[in-house]
Structure 1
Amino acid sequence: MRFTRRQALALYGSLMVIVSVLTILLIVSRNDMGLIIDNINITDMDGIPCLLIRFNSSFDSLHFQLLSSGNVISSCVVKGDENVAMLKLFEPYANILEERHFTIRVLHRNTVIYTKEVSISGAIPIVNILNISASTLPSFLLIRSIMLEVKNVGDCPLYLSVARGDIQVFLDGNRVFAIYSSTIKVPPNASRILSVRPLIIIPSSDLNRKHEITIKVLNITINYHIPPLNPMIKLLDVNTSNMMALRVIQNMTISVVNSWIFPIDLRWMKILIDGKEFSMMLWHVSPRLYIINPGDEVQLHISNMFVLVDEPSVEVRLVLGLSEDRMIVELK
């Protein structure tokens, strides 16, 4: 088949158009299909909050960049046989507690082939007090531990550091020393239970009023109220006798119901006979029980008292926190 000059030129022109179109399609296809982003997540890498980018690529290498306000804050180069890029968001153990905006940019041979705007909410902590445990000393209440549940409902890791003082404990507005695990990580949509051990010692003489424990975890503040000590105490019986013309109180029987939130130490109780204070530790107590747990009721017999009195009648008074009971005892 022979072509005229005009036909040959027309055919050549058509072929060149086809080649140009195919070249453009190849370039577009390579840019669009040569990199496929599967997902972008926020993760912790050895204490560093990072963007984890999973992708598929046909390029020999890619340069990933993370920009904030137009400035590159992190970058990494990924070779052709790898499909994960890690971009650092902040310094180690830094908390992101507010919404932030970033740009992901991917380059191939200094040419930008991909950009994406990314917004993150930050870590959002929710703190609950699960339990506060206490023990007693003869003259004090000791707060031993505060059990906390820390939830992170945000999209960034949450870090709690002793060195930064991320968890602080206060008693009645005054900060107290507290210890807990050196660094605690709470991933997004996860929770951690931790024990905080504060140095809180309240004198038994100060338990007749309300106290407030305040716990601050980053930007979260929660309060725990210790109500005044106000158990149910009852002076049931007082036995007296005459010994060689002396009037003597020999023993008494009392009952105590612990309606408080912590254990009660009966050594906190004052026994006053005509206004003179005596300690239960001076006498024999049966059963040999000083600690009463919340909700428990005990009846105690206090013997071998041998308290000498001068008057034919005396007032016996029990005082424990805000509670008291009294009895006028006639001595023959």
Structure 2
Amino acid sequence: MISMKELAQHCGVSVATVSKALNDQSDIGESTKIRVKQAAEKLGYFPNAAARSLKTNRSYNIGVLFVDEANSGLTHEYFAAVLEGFKVEAEKQGYDITFINGQIGKKKVSYYEHCKYRNVDGVVIACVKFDNPEVVELLNGDIPVVTIDHINENCSSVLSDNVKGIESLMEYVYEKGHRKIAYIHGQASTTVTKARLTSFYRFLESRELSVPDDYVLEADYLDVSQAMACTSELLDRKDPPTCILYPDDTALIGGLNEIRRRDLRVPDDISIAGYDGSRLSQILNPRLTTIRQDTSAIGMQAAKKLISTIDKPKTTFTEQIIVEGELITGESVGNANIS
């Protein structure tokens, strides 16, 4: 591997010019940039990370804080796909990824301390308890942060369009003739659930529909057993719903198991719908009606926003970026049986 000095000698320019060309600075000609970059690729030149860090006061390293309450880790299909989109965009812009945790070796540290230790330029936060004091410390610190699926006044956030997602799902269910619609939602304290619940009730209001309070139940995201118990409670009612919405496609499996345990058929006897648009949702029989979230776009937008905040802190707005999903009609919602 050649040095920057040797690359400069090969191109017949100064070391400073090589540095400017490789960093796309505007005070040198485009033809010089192209010539230097082509030579660097041909000769196998790679900038030394430590030297670059000293020169730019950057580590080109982004922290990822991801603490999944369901303990599914990177097998969590939704967030794993979001983080893959984030990783692809960050690496395209020359950044490496470091996962943030609460330990350095055997020593217990806060998330903020770990970020400082790793010298990250910024952090993306996803799937955590945002009222955790260590998360609050990080959000209130001096490290640029972008959150995913959570709104915080101190930083930008990227969110799936949960309001429109539930609205689209409810519109489809309504057009199928359903009026007795139950909703098993995720943890009520989360930004995601608050948006979805508000959209659910707004739709009912717009159609002058009312559902009993005990048609709306809570089950943790991805928790199959809780969703199964809630489904059992709904089906035991004297006047059970004709359609049940679930917090996500995985939790829905618990509901489907309970429905089948009672020898009921989907969608002939009861309709069900999920959320997320997981691969599993389209393998199940019947194929699920669900909202497919654009995980790749969510991750990409989070990376772009965070890197912009790192690169241009004085001119980058703090904002909420909303990414639309897509209704997948599937086969799990049939025409309402209102006889």
TM interval, short-chain normalised: under 0.3
Structure possessing the higher relative contact order (Cα contacts under 8 Å, 6 or more residues apart): 2
| Structure richer in strand, relative to its length | 1
Q: TM-score, normalised by structure 1?
A: 0.25
Q: Mark the structure with the bigger radius of gyration.
A: 1
The alignment's TM-score, normalised by the length of structure 2, stands at 0.25
